[in-house]
Structure 1
């Protein structure tokens, strides 16, 4: 059942109200934020039990028959998995959306960890995410009256070279206060040469796209000595290492402003403007970093990311494990904002390697070692229980593969056999969503 879709004017008003709230709530005390989150969660839990078959008994540990909530038992709610979303889609749909939550749309994930996931999301959730994006753009001084080029999209008929697809205006509605800016989308079928010609012709202030795709373009700019200047790189799809930030600065003279998101949950966190970590959009969702026991991981320790979005009532995702490993770092930040802090986004659970003795490990190669090898773009894959393959695009200065292999063994396990495969940048061009660490074991 769809609730009434708000008019354009009403949607802009709601967006403005959410944006105004977020500019204030980023400084709330921890107690006030916790009270806000519990209020939103209470509405979501009661709605899910009443209207979603999947949650009819799933919330019993926390939600009593009288509607009262035992918050001390929150972690007894079973974690929701990608397999649940794939196999229980129909049972997870709400039979009655609350008034004003808007049109229900479907979103499809990229399927980088296997089978893609389809979820239902209502317009209010998208509106809230757009408001959080507006706040982050404020943090970093992003001006939506300027030109933006986005290199992304799998459909070869949409955003095709040489014209691309024009959006005018672009950006969150709350920030559209002056002349409309232009966004040009260029799909992933464009070659690096075509993409660079497109960027030179459109002369954007902002350039966004998958991290590895933008890295390929950056290396081409440096190799060919092109003069392409942009104000900021807005990368997504992968974690951004310090080496990648330096690459974007060297190639484009640009600062890097990443964000953390998923198709299922929208914008999770945005980069702090003053520190090298992320601030969680805690007004819109509960983000937990948990250990194997489902309890909160200690500050600075890695754990699984579990998310409960507040505003998606079309298909509630309560304690959804999105498949990432990250570190939580508390709430303290020198920027003055009190929003929870996420440290490093370490990788995907599904891409963890298995040591020859069967233990799981999350690989993490140092940027210095990769630079010494001279690898521009790279991927480390586990292709057998005792064998790894390092696939890379070599730069102009070739490094010592034997030395690099010994360092890999020292970091991961001495019994691993290391093979190398040199590739052209076009081989990585074909990857729609690049995965730096890939476990190919069955």
Structure 2
């Protein structure tokens, strides 16, 4: 018998029951068997793409390999070509799950997962949220995310929210008046958990702090808060747990992959070893031992439609010395922070708002390679971008219309095409940077 959430996945062609059963088997493997299982899955996925994916064959430059460490490192730039050219033999855009990355690192692209892989991604989510008593089929989610503002996109997302048993708090405007409305929803709805962008949830917690309100007192059914997409600093976690009155869980993931790490009930940032293989590499692509800081490189062990093999996700991290192949633990993650945009009206919007703006400029021809948005004055922004061809007037007008829709009217934008964009010392490209101080 299917529950509502499971049934919606199954009806869309994603074999969730099979994926959940396979997840249980993987989790149950003892350490010795898991090591053999992992090595086999690594060899199997590489062999599959070398035989069935012409794009990966060309990238590797040969049809077989002897040593895992010989495999070249993939980056986001390697995926900025039409999706149809990156799919494996036997797959088409109509037979796979297709989505766009957020572009939070400044390198947006369209990706695909075969339907079993996407089902396994959900099985992975279900397993980890279950650690905290959350059941996607019955638990009610308070969702702090963005949402498309065009009529059709908005209705589609709302319908998905309905199927997924969640209520969405749109985070494009986080002014006090809007946050007051958020609080009223918590007074009248029986939410089980909060999930969403870190910066938005932290702003809500600061709003509660100003009013000396503990959220659990307002909404006693709440059990846990899961923050994602941006860095959760220690002081922010302390604030959240104080103002919420229940545990705050740190999640680290990538839409093109899966959950990469998820805080377990013991407080460890446990890495997903069931569907992914995570390595830490130095600048010369050498594998670093546990305890050493380096680039986070991830392999998707199940995605046959589209290769993500030794994929440099653009973050820097450390795997704890107590890690094992079955239970790696992420000791530290450096990256994924976003500034807040302060607008002339007093409206505050998190940097990830620009995810929805960039949807307007991301096309499947890979023209725009990289971009960053800099707020230089309260009403002025620079959009620096790298592209094959310069944005034309029609594209710029489209972007400006999206900005007016998602942020507010009366803002000024300068579009600056560059050969390359400035990066941080860690090599990350921060998508949004505010160069102004908050106005008191």
Matched residue, 1:40: 41
| SS of equivalent to 2:294 | strand
Matched, 1:323 2:314: yes
Matched, 1:307 2:295: no
Cα distance change on mapping 1:45 and 1:159 into 2, 3 Å: closer
Give the distance between the partners of 2:102 and 2:162, measured in 1 at CA. 26
Matched, 1:138 2:108: no
Cα distance change on mapping 1:154 and 1:183 into 2, 3 Å: closer
Count of aligned positions? 341
Cα distance change on mapping 1:115 and 1:281 into 2, 3 Å: closer
Deviation digits for residues 237-278 of structure 1 (CA, Å, limit 9, x no counterpart): 112222111111121112111221101112222212113x32
Q: TM-score under structure 2 normalisation?
A: 0.68
Contact 1:148 1:184 in 2 (8 A): yes
Cα distance change on mapping 1:312 and 1:331 into 2, 3 Å: farther
Deviation digits for residues 41-79 of structure 1 (CA, Å, limit 9, x no counterpart): 222222212221122254467x63xxxx52xx2122111
Give the distance between the partners of 1:97 and 1:283, measured in 2 at CA. 24
Deviation digits for residues 115-173 of structure 1 (CA, Å, limit 9, x no counterpart): 42111111111211222222212322224433211121231258979x96674564xxx
Deviation digits for residues 418-440 of structure 1 (CA, Å, limit 9, x no counterpart): xxxx99983344752799x9586
Give the distance between the partners of 1:345 and 1:232, measured in 2 at CA. 22
Contact 1:165 1:185 in 2 (8 A): no
Matched residue, 2:21: 17
Give the distance between the partners of 1:158 and 1:251, measured in 2 at CA. 36
Matched, 1:150 2:71: no
146-155 vs 311-320, greater mean Cα deviation: 146-155
Q: 2:105 aligns with which of 113, 123, 131?
A: 113
Give the distance between the partners of 1:208 and 1:329, measured in 2 at CA. 26
Give the distance between the partners of 1:48 and 1:226, measured in 2 at CA. 54
Give the distance between the partners of 2:26 and 2:179, measured in 1 at CA. 39
| SS of equivalent to 1:116 | coil
Structure 2 unpaired stretches of 5+? 1-8, 217-221, 356-372, 374-423, 425-429, 435-440
Alignment of 1:39-188 (within 5 A): 39-59=40-60, 64=64, 69-70=65-66, 73-87=67-81, 89-97=83-91, 103-144=95-136, 145-156=138-149, 157=151, 167=161, 170=164, 182-188=165-171
Q: 2:227 aligns with which of 207, 221, 235?
A: 235
Cα distance change on mapping 1:58 and 1:227 into 2, 3 Å: closer
Cα distance change on mapping 1:429 and 1:193 into 2, 3 Å: farther
Give the distance between the partners of 1:104 and 1:328, measured in 2 at CA. 33
Q: 1:215 aligns with which of 202, 224, 240?
A: 202
Q: TM-score under structure 1 normalisation?
A: 0.67
Identify the structure with bigger relative contact order (alpha carbons < 8 Å, sequence gap 6+). Answer: 2
Shift of residue 328, structure 1, vs aligned partner: 1.1
Deviation digits for residues 327-376 of structure 1 (CA, Å, limit 9, x no counterpart): 0114548xxx941111111115xx9xxxxxxxxxxxxxxxxxxxxxxxxx
Contact 1:159 1:185 in 2 (8 A): no
Alignment of 1:398-409 (within 5 A): none
Deviation digits for residues 72-123 of structure 1 (CA, Å, limit 9, x no counterpart): x21221110111111464432112259xxx9402111111222421111111
